[in-house]
């Protein structure tokens, strides 16, 4: 994946989710930096949903819960 595509995915995620960081407000650039760091250490995964042809970001925990629910259905 190109760096431009990755940047677009991250920016769209921030705008869509609002990403709550608690008491401290972070700038858009700081939020992007946090997400890049989490991707680097694999705390977040990029997930493609073929059903609605969308991409989102999930924490490892969210991904594992989703995968488990999918396997049980």
Provide the residue ranges of all domains of the chain, joining segments of one domain with +.
3-72
Q: How many helices (H) and strands (E) does the chain have?
A: 3, 2
Mean pLDDT for the stretch of residues 32-47: 95
What SS3 state is found at 53?
A: coil
Rounded Cα gap, residues 48 and 11, in angstroms: 16
- CATH number of the domain located at residue range(s) 3-72 in this protein: 1.10.10.610
pLDDT-derived band of residue 21, with 50, 70 and 90 as boundaries? low
pTM of the model as a whole: 0.78
């Amino acid at each position: 994946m190109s760096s431009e595509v990755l940047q677009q995915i991250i920016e769209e995620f921030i705008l869509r989710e609002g990403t709550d960081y608690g008491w401290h407000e972070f700038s858009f650039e700081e939020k992007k930096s946090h997400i890049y760091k989490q991707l680097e250490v694999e705390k977040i995964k990029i997930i493609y949903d073929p059903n609605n042809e969308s991409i989102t970001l999930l924490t490892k925990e969210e991904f594992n819960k989703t995968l488990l629910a999918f396997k049980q259905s």
